Amino acid sequence: MKNYVYGIDLGGTTVKMGLFDSEGTALEKWEIVTRKEDSGDHILPDIAESILKKNEEKNIVIDDIEGIGIGVPGPITEDGQVLKCVNLGWGIFSVADKLSELTGVKKVKVGNDANVAALGEQWRGGGRGFNSIVMVTLGTGVGGGVILNGKILTGSNGAAGEIGHLTVNPKESKSCNCGKNGCLEQYSSATAIMRMAREGLAASNRVSMLRDYKEVTGREIFQAYTAGDELAKEIVDEFAFYLGLGLSHVAQVVDPEAFVIGGGVSKNGQVVIDVIKEHYEKNVMFALKNKEFRLAELGNDAGMYGSVRMVLE
Amino acid sequence: MKNYVYGIDLGGTTVKMGLFDSEGTALEKWEIVTRKEDSGDHILPDIAESILKKNEEKNIVIDDIEGIGIGVPGPITEDGQVLKCVNLGWGIFSVADKLSELTGVKKVKVGNDANVAALGEQWRGGGRGFNSIVMVTLGTGVGGGVILNGKILTGSNGAAGEIGHLTVNPKESKSCNCGKNGCLEQYSSATAIMRMAREGLAASNRVSMLRDYKEVTGREIFQAYTAGDELAKEIVDEFAFYLGLGLSHVAQVVDPEAFVIGGGVSKNGQVVIDVIKEHYEKNVMFALKNKEFRLAELGNDAGMYGSVRMVLE
């Protein structure tokens, strides 16, 4: 094993980068801007340049580097090909080959960002101690990642673990961003619960604590829920009903040891797990009841840790 | 590799047994009765006796046997423990150790029967040529098995691939045998479509071809559907709606290369696939569209083949 590993989480606005030792300890973290112009052609050269600069700064030679891991916001095949990445303007090509060529580092491991974050949480975060977990990230959308026996489940088209687009309500008339109707993301993302609050407040003059806040985000909704506010209860119930149902589907298919809940909404803590579990338990068969539910611990660093893990495993 | 493998499919009424060569070619197949009395205590000794008798008949010594594979109708852990098997009266114990002890054959591989049948179909049946498939068996109930990269996905409690108990209709008031409400099995098993026909015919005097048959099974329902019968169309639509939805859930989680449809209902051929696909396509995201759907080919032998494959892989 060589001395250093680079762990990278490529996002739509910034690239999170980390230099790690071969034990997986973070030595340094920094960010660069994701330049999306020109079909995203600058992104990998920028990342390579930043790595080479860090090497110089730290007196690291290429032979000291075990590898580079990178999480990318799009479907990735098992051999490191990206199959389009709308956010970045990317088409189909091998991220692994390209980044290897640009840096001179042979071992480059590439994964989908949500899957890589799940791997990070399983390795060093809320999923520590479990071999098989499913992570669900409740943010702008709903992301997911399935880790089986310590490895990312990629799927035949890089689309395994796309939990946010489980059709949990086939009767829904409104469309999801993905073009389908009734996706989990339409009810259980941060965006969705904020929308429900807005709509709920606009629909009538009913009394609600939510009217007292300047801005209503997940935090205010869960605060009001805990305080017994009725509108907040309706919103949280809908959020939890669909999320519990969606996670029950996941369990019926892969039977993981634990679920790890991350993303902005998870910052409201144990109450989030409590409400999800209630609906999860109703919708799984006997053998799948009483799974462990944990909160994510690594926040925005999960992707970097997972990237490092891909290199070290 | 030694010369022989035994492949066994343990069912609630009969045990299907096969002697195979090390290429996976069936040399002989036979059945014995499943004696369920005395908490199923005779089952494994009966199987062992039958194997030892076959050895004698064929002049096979223990050292000629590569291993024994067996599919069991209950949840099985990765190390061959059965976690209760209500149908057989079994509690929790190691089927692998017990059968090994009774036969003198060291390598005994145990799997859940639906999973093992899926492995058989992936290896030698409708899933040939694909590494990752999901099989769904439409019989008395709805069984499922997930094969990823040529291996059974067992799950942490032996409950992966329990597709029949996906909650596809959380608003259902009637209970499934498993105690939940709205399981896929309640709409898409052979039992379910026969029930729908019975109820549909009893509910009114509407004209339907289904009234002309002495007995209405899946076969008559699909015949009438193909002939344009309206009641049959309603039944097939409900069957296909929930099955397509359920398989969309499976795809969102594991992204297999193909689905293999087996069990009695699948004997109605391509029309079954056509109606399922229509609803599947509506409910999966873009990257998961256009999956391959195949009919199972091995019928009741799938479990035997899968058992052999567990030994040979």
Can you give the three-state secondary structure of chain B, one letter per residue? Answer: CCCEEEEEEECCCEEEEEEEECCCCEEEEEEEECCCHHHHCCHHHHHHHHHHHHHHHHCCCHHHEEEEEEEECCCECCCCEEEEEHHHCEEEEEHHHHHHHHHCCCCEEEEEHHHHHHHHHHHHCCCCCCCCEEEEEECCCEEEEEEECCEECCCCCCCCCCHHHCECCCCCCCECCCCCECECHHHHCHHHHHHHHHHHHHHCCCCCHHHHCCCCCHHHHHHHHHCCCHHHHHHHHHHHHHHHHHHHHHHHHHCCCEEEEECHHHHHCHHHHHHHHHHHHHHCCHHHCCCEEEECCCHHHHHHHHHHHHHHC
What is the CB neighbour count within 10 angstroms for residue B91? 11
User: How far apart, in Å, are the Cα atoms of A151 and each of A19, A94, A103?
Assistant: 22, 20, 26
Predicted pLDDT of residue A1: 85
Q: What type of residue sits at position B184? A: L
More confident residue, B151 or A83: B151
Give Cβ neighbours of residue A149 (< 8 Å, ≥ 6 apart). A131, A132
B290: closest chain A residue by CA: A157
Phi, psi of B266 (to 5 degrees): -70, -15
What percentage of residues in chain A have a pLDDT greater than 70? 100
Task: Quote the DSSP letter at residue A266.
Answer: G
Position A110 pLDDT exceeds 90: yes
Of B132, B167, B248, the CB nearest to A245: B167
Structure confidence at residue A86 (pLDDT): 79
pLDDT at B157: 92
Q: Which of B6, B162, B140 is nearest to B83 (CA)?
A: B162
CA separation (Å) from B20 to B15, B30, B109, B168, B307?
A: 16, 12, 15, 40, 11
Residue B294: per-residue pLDDT: 98
Count each helix (H run) and each strand (E run) in chain A, helices first: 10, 12
- Binned at pLDDT 50, 70 and 90, residue A5 comes out as very high
**How close A75 gets to chain B, by Cα (Å)?**
8
Mean pLDDT of A97-102: 97
- Residue that is written with structure tokens 């169309």 in the block: B233
Q: By the 8 A CB rule, do B200 and B246 touch?
A: no
Specify the pLDDT at position A78.
85
Is the pLDDT confidence value at B181 over 90?
yes
Nearest-Å Rg of the Cα atoms of chain A is 20
Q: B241-268, pLDDT tens digit by residue?
A: 999 999 999 999 999 999 999 999 999 9
Close Cβ partners of B57 (under 8 Å, ≥ 6 residues apart): none
Could you tell me which residues come within 8 angstroms of residue B162 by beta carbon, excluding any fewer than 6 positions away?
A252, A253, A255, A285, A287, A288, B144
Q: Does A162 touch chain B (CB under 8 A)?
A: yes
Chain A interface, best mutation among B250, B252, B278, B282, by max A CB count within 10 A: B252
> Average pLDDT in the B284-312 region?
97
Residues in chain A within 8 Å Cβ distance of B287 = 75, 83, 157-159, 162
What gap in Å lies between CA B280 and CA B250, rounded to an integer?
10
- A160–B253 C-beta distance less than 8 A: yes
Fold of A4-119+301-312: Nucleotidyltransferase; domain 5 (3.30.420)
The alpha-carbon gap from A279 to the nearest alpha carbon of chain B, in Å, equals 10
Please check whether residue A14 touches B, CB under 8 A: no
Mention the CATH class of domain B130-297.
alpha beta
CATH topology match: A4-119+301-312 vs A128-297: yes
Radius of gyration of chain B (CA): 20
Cβ of A249 and B167 within 8 Å? Answer: yes
Sorted by sequence, the CB contacts under 8 Å of residue B282 that are 6+ apart come out as: A170, A180, B244, B248
* Cβ-defined contact of B157 to A288 (cutoff 8 Å): yes
Rounded CA separation B83/A284 (Å): 17
- Segment A54-69 mean pLDDT: 97
For position B249, what pLDDT does the model report?
A: 98
- Nearest CB partner across the interface for A163, out of B83, B166, B252: B252
Element (H, E) at A208: none
- At A120, the pLDDT band (50, 70, 90 cuts) reads very high
Distance CA A95, CA A86 (A): 15
Which residues lie across from A259 on neighbouring strands? A134, A293
**How many other CB atoms are there within 10 angstroms of residue B125's CB atom?**
25
CA-to-CA distance for B137 and B114, rounded, in angstroms?
A: 8
- Per DSSP, the three-state class of A104 is coil
User: Which residue has tokens 């759907």?
Assistant: B293
In tens, the pLDDT along A124-172 reads: 999 999 999 999 999 999 999 999 999 999 999 999 999 999 999 999 9
Per-residue pLDDT, averaged over A84-112, amounts to: 94
Q: Which of A255, A281, A282, A288 would best serve as a mutation to test chain B binding (most B beta carbons within 10 A)? A: A255
Average pLDDT score over chain B: 96
List chain B residues with CB under 8 Å of A254. 146, 153, 155, 160, 253-254
* Banded pLDDT at B313 (limits 50, 70, 90): confident
Q: Which backbone phi and psi does B28 adopt, to 5 degrees?
A: -160, 145
Record: contact A170-B283, CB cut-off 8 A = yes
pLDDT in tens, A278-312: 999 999 999 999 999 999 999 999 999 999 999 99
Q: Mark yes or no for CB contact A288/B162 under 8 Å.
A: yes
Backbone φ and ψ of B287, nearest 5° = -65, -15
CB burial of A118-140 (b: ≥16 within 10 Å; e: otherwise) equals bbbbbbbbbbeebebbbbbbbbe
Question: Would you kindly state where each structural domain of chain B is located, as residue ranges?
Answer: 4-119+301-312, 130-297
B251-285: b (≥16 Cβ within 10 Å) or e = bbbbbbbbbbbbbbbbbbeeebbebbbebbebbbb
Q: Which architecture, in CATH terms, is A128-297?
A: 2-Layer Sandwich (3.30)
- Of A209, A160, A165, A208, nearest to A187 by C-alpha is A165
Average pLDDT over residues B27-41: 96
Mean pLDDT calculated for residue range A216-221: 97
User: Is 90 exceeded by the pLDDT of residue A87?
Assistant: no
Chain B contact for A253, CB < 8 A? yes
- The pLDDT, as a whole number, for residue B63 is 96
> What secondary structure letter does DSSP report for A145?
E
State the pLDDT confidence band at B79, using cuts at 50, 70 and 90. confident
pLDDT in tens, B111-149: 999 999 999 999 999 999 999 999 999 999 999 999 999
For the entire predicted model, the pTM comes to 0.95
Chain A residues with beta carbon closer than 8 angstroms to that of B254: 146, 153, 155, 160, 253-254
